[in-house]
Amino acid sequence: MKTRILIKEGEYRLAKAGVMDAKIDAEELYCFACNCDKVVMFLRKEEEADKDVEEKYLELIERRASRIPLQHITGEQEFMGFRFKVTPDVLIPRQDTETLVTEAVKTIRQESERAAEEMKKASIFRKLRRRQCFEVLDLCCGSGSVGISLSRMLDTVSVSGTDISLPALKLAAANAALNRAKVEFFQGDMFDAVPEGRRVTAEGLSARAKGTKTGQFDMIVSNPPYIRSSIIPLLQEEVKKHEPIEALDGGRDGLDFYRTIVKQAHQRLKPEGWLLLEIGYDQGEELRKMIKDSGFYSPATVVKDLPGRDRVVKCRKK
């Protein structure tokens, strides 16, 4: 069977099984089966497919047709141009979340530029005491994709990632090593993880029982669970059956985690520290009101993603 026909057969089987983007997934699985890129795949389209490759490819297609996520089959996902390992212990990094990272990078760079301008006018003594890095907390970090991306994109940040899930944190630590990023990970329930939480490496809990951070940060970023509980059964098979529900379910109205964050984040932020939260497309105004009513922060702004939907809420500690 020619490679072109084999891939077309894969696409047909995936489409019949109700898989979205069947053509893209069929091509991705061929590249994975052959350990090649799409340029090589294109060059081989009129060649006869190797029998072993054909057998392996169709087995992968059957797994995908059973609605196992593509990323769980290949074991990885690209995010912000970096490669991340993925398992069923974490949410698969999504393009929507790149808006959170992009806005965080933009904000930190603006802060750095402002600080540099102020430093030009500062005394020698103040220059010597100048802050050397911008401390960031990636709350509910999962695979670590947000914090690791920030660490790679900015050489002036010190990033800590926290999560309640030990398997997720072990994977995040492995992803940090994979991407050569200096990020520390701590296990604990929400803000309790730093500085009281246990440090986590790719091998598990560190022998050093306590974190050394002060517990206050220049910026807190988070992509917390925000799906309404009633919506979970309506999600795609790939999501509701293969991704961790505890990383999706935000309670009856989807805002449970935001209530905790808004109530406690100001205690973990340095003066005028930033809070950036990913949200569902219809949660912007509710969260802005929650932030305003708390009295702890400046008026929040809502940042839209590439398709023009509300995606990130951003505010600053008063």
Q: Give per-residue pLDDT as tens, 101-110.
A: 999 999 999 9
Q: 198 pLDDT band (50/70/90 cuts)?
A: confident
Cα–Cα dist 32/8, whole Å: 16
Q: What pLDDT band is residue 214 in, cutting at 50, 70 and 90?
A: low
> Confidence class of residue 114 from pLDDT cuts 50, 70 and 90?
confident
Alpha helices in 207-311 (DSSP H): 237-242, 256-268, 284-294
pLDDT category at 228 given cuts 50, 70, 90 is: very high
Dihedral (C-alpha) 230, 231, 234, 238: value to the nearest 10 degrees?
-120
Helix ranges (DSSP H) in the chain: 3-16, 22-34, 38-43, 51-65, 70-74, 98-120, 124-128, 145-153, 166-178, 237-242, 256-268, 284-294
Three-state DSSP class for 251? coil
Coil, helix or strand at residue 69: coil
* The pLDDT of residue 128: 47
Question: Average pLDDT of the chain?
Answer: 91
Q: In what order do the strands lie in the sheet with 183-187?
A: 204-205, 198-201, 183-187, 157-163, 134-139, 217-222, 269-278, 310-316, 301-304
With pLDDT > 70 as the criterion, what percentage of the chain qualifies? 91
Q: What is the pTM of this model?
A: 0.89
Rounded distance between C-alpha atoms, residue 275 and residue 312, angstroms: 10
Q: pLDDT (tens digit, 9 = 90+) per residue, 13-65?
A: 999 999 999 999 999 999 999 999 999 999 999 999 999 999 999 999 999 99
Contact of 203 with 221, CB cutoff 8 Å: no
Confidence band of 255 (pLDDT split at 50, 70, 90): very high
What is the pLDDT, as a whole number, of residue 211?
45
DSSP state letter for 44: T
Q: How buried is residue 306: exposed, middle or buried, by Cβ count under 10 Å (0-12/13-18/19+)?
A: exposed
Model pLDDT for residues 123-150, shown as the tens digit of each residue: 555 554 555 689 999 999 999 999 999 9
Q: Residue 77: how many CB atoms within 10 A of its CB?
A: 20
**Of 7, 39, 47, 6, which Cα lies nearest the Cα of 23?**
7
What is d(CA 180, CA 144) in angstroms, rounded to the nearest whole number? Answer: 13
**pLDDT cut 90: percent of the chain above it:** 83
